[in-house]
Chain A
Amino acid sequence: NAGVTQTPKFQVLKTGQSMTLQCAQDMNHEYMSWYRQDPGMGLRLIHYSVGAGITDQGEVPNGYNVSRSTTEDFPLRLLSAAPSQTSVYFCASSSTVGSPLHFGNGTRLTVT
């Protein structure tokens, strides 16, 4: 049972480039979310989804897009990368509202 799988593990982008961070879970969880983790800031919610076809914004959504076409996948798109988006990104899922989050191993993104 793989749990939550994120790819890639590391990525370096130049300012203005676009990319998609992939997240997949095999636990049939309805709820999925994206967080970024910065030193001294903790984990901050970017976007989340309560089911296929439904997404909503978290605390820090600007510069990021998401979609949820299947229960399993929840990709995060950076349309035009900026140095302020340098961070570690975590995808997480949970089975029901309020149940504990299961995290992927993270993607370390550097934007130069």
Chain B
Amino acid sequence: EDKVVQSPLSLVVHEGDTVTLNCSYEVTNFRSLLWYKQEKKAPTFLFMLTSSGIEKKSGRLSSILDKKELFSILNITATQTGDSAIYLCAVSLNTGNQFYFGTGTSLTVIP
């Protein structure tokens, strides 16, 4: 059975802290791994990773994929209250354009 597991389930940090969110997966026909940020409404796209060891970076956020160990991490440095959200990891399969999502990590950044 295809599955995507995220950890931790929730996290509370202070502004300025650095956080690491984890995503592991067991799927057949892996195509790519994606990270999304969900605030009050629709998830918004952050990164798509297809190759191992190549870091993707956007401002204070970065992510990397390990296809041998089947996991990815999302790092957020110098956290701000605006980073408070649920972070979703999804895996895309080669068959039928299906995406499997993890349950998400709820991040709360307190001033």
Contacts and interface: CB of A to CB of B under 8 A. Distances in A.
Interface of A: 4, 31, 33, 35, 40-45, 48, 50, 56, 58, 90, 94, 97-98, 100-106
Nearest to A9: B41
B42 A105 contact: yes
Given A42-B102, A43-B88, A44-B101, A101 B45 contact: yes
Contacts of A40: 103
A104 B44 CA distance: 10
B99 A45 contact: yes
Contacts of A41: 103
A103 B43 CA distance: 6
A48 B103 contact: no
A98 B32 CA distance: 8
Contacts of B48: 100
B98 A45 contact: yes
B97 interface: yes
